[in-house]
Amino acid sequence: MAEKILLVDDDLDTLRLVGLMLQRQGYQIRAASDGPQALAMVESEIPDLILLDIMMPDMDGYEVARRLRANPRATDVPIIMFTAKAQIDDKVMGFEAGADDYLTKPIQPRELIAHMKAVLSRVQKRQTSAPTSTETPLERGYMVGVISVRGGLGVSTVALNLGIALHQEQKKDVIIADFRPGQGTIGLELGYLRSDAINRLVQRKPTEISARDIENEIITHPTGVRLLLSSHHPGDARYLNAVANFEAIAVHLVRMARYVVLDLGTGLSPINEKIINICDEICIVVEPVPQTLIQSKALLDDLIAKGIGEGRIDIVLVNRVRSGVQLSWSQVQEQLGKNISVIFTPAPELAYQASMHNLPLISQQPDSLTAQQFIKLAEKVAQRNQ
């Protein structure tokens, strides 16, 4: 099938001439004469490659590239910057904005096509060698659900960084899925401003959701983990009643990667009641505060009553603030009647820096104590999976 190329240039002669030349080479051409038009076109149809001019009124090519990279649907689309700006600084800025290649005008058609072919074939190779082909489903992977009893205790942070630690330490394929429509923060923390992957899946009939549909919504983060993101728009919380859809997604996910980590948010909602049964392990995030521990103990008891054996439950204590007036870890264990698997020490500066840079804590400072604590948690999870 002919590859679809989106040409973006405010110069209509360039659009016409390059467009015609590429059409003769058998490509399907779409054309946009400014940045906003290009972004709108990508929303309705993802091209195979974008040829992007830099100097355009209203929104320049750098900004278009940045917005495409921040859009999970378009984050992997190859971009070749094609511009009269030939300074080294311009090129560096182009690559920093997310371009895969950079060409300066004027250019010979043969050279342009050679670059396009090289970029397209790299992408095709990446896609065919992706570790999870949906044609050949893996046997069951290992699914960890991360949960707490209240908001803000660190569930999303643990889910994301545990996933990355598993990928880095165990060298295994990992999917991290945010199961919190309307309250998703994993995408937001990583700088993906549009994260409606789950929204699109929950609008289908549960029986019609295939592994391929899910695969199409998954994006790959630079750390190598794959992400299925939820939106952060409060109104999308209406999808919290799509229990059968989430169940269908979880059943597929567990066969799509060696490890799957789910951000389940808080409490035993109708979705979580179902999903915990699909999980191999539940990680309960707690804080050293008496009332939270009373609730956490109740959650622990509920899970056990529902048949999740104690051997499948990890307690993770996240201390977010330095304070002498919180309970000690031994008091936490006493209140819960269960040992803590990993203790996270307060790291407010690291959390702030990571958030400012749109990085996971573990990437912001790979040699930090916090990173080591995530590695320890990943080791515990991997041990249980043996």
Ligand X SMILES: Nc1ncnc2c1ncn2[C@@H]1O[C@H](COP(=O)(O)OP(=O)(O)OP(=O)(O)O)[C@@H](O)[C@H]1O
Binding site for Mg ion (CB under 5 A): 155-156, 185
Q: CA separation (Å) from 211 to 195, 248, 268?
A: 19, 10, 26
Pairwise CA distance, residues 47 & 31, whole Å: 11
The answer to whether the beta carbons of residues 162 and 378 sit under 8 Å apart is yes
Q: Is 157 in the site for ligand X (CB under 6 A)?
A: yes
Choose the binding region for ligand X from 63-71, 100-108, 148-156, 298-306 (rule: CB under 6 A): 148-156
For residue 271, the minimal CB distance to ligand X (Å) is 14
Residue with tokens 């670059």: 115
Q: Is 346 in the site for ligand X (CB under 6 A)?
A: yes
Size of the site for ligand X (CB under 6 A): 21
Pairwise CA distance, residues 128 & 369, whole Å: 38
Of 115, 258, 320, 338, the one binding ligand X (CB under 6 A) is 320
Nearer to ligand X, 175 or 317 (CB): 317
SS3 string of 156-204?
Answer: HHHHHHHHHHHHHHHCCCEEEEECCCCCCCHHHHCCCCCCCHHHHHHCC
Q: What tokens does 239 get?
A: 């999808």
Nearer to Mg ion, 132 or 185 (CB): 185
Other Cβ atoms within 10 Å of 21 Cβ, number: 14
Q: Is 231 in the site for ligand X (CB under 6 A)?
A: no
Q: Which amino acid is at 292?
A: T
Of 46, 113, 244, 351, the one binding ligand X (CB under 6 A) is 351
Nearer to Mg ion, 185 or 296 (CB): 185
- Rg, C-alpha atoms of the chain: 23
Q: Is 153 in the site for ligand X (CB under 6 A)?
A: yes
For residue 339, the minimal CB distance to ligand X (Å) is 20
For residue 30, the minimal CB distance to Mg ion (Å) is 38
Nearer to ligand X, 99 or 159 (CB): 159
Binding mask 184-223 for ligand X (x = CB under 6 A): -x--------------------------------------
Residues 356-375 close enough to bind ligand X by CB under 6 A: 370
For residue 103, the minimal CB distance to ligand X (Å) is 41
For residue 163, the minimal CB distance to ligand X (Å) is 13
For residue 365, the minimal CB distance to ligand X (Å) is 12
Pairwise CA distance, residues 262 & 239, whole Å: 17
DSSP of 314-371: EEEEE--S--TTSPPHHHHHHHHTS--SEEEPP-HHHHHHHHHTT--HHHH-TTSHHH
Which residue is at the shortest CB distance from Mg ion? 156
Q: Is 14 in the site for ligand X (CB under 6 A)?
A: no
Instruction: Select from Mg ion, ligand X, none the partner in contact with residue 131, using the beta carbon and a kind-dependent cut-off of 5 to 8 Å.
Output: none
Of 65, 116, 155, 313, the one binding ligand X (CB under 6 A) is 155
Strand pairing category for 226-228 and 219-220: antiparallel
Nearer to ligand X, 132 or 156 (CB): 156
Pairwise CA distance, residues 66 & 101, whole Å: 14
Give start and end residues of each alpha helix (H) in 74-176.
Answer: 88-97, 109-128, 155-170
Which parts of this chain interact with ligand X (CB under 6 A)?
A: 148, 151-157, 183, 185, 265-266, 318, 320, 344, 346-348, 351, 355, 370
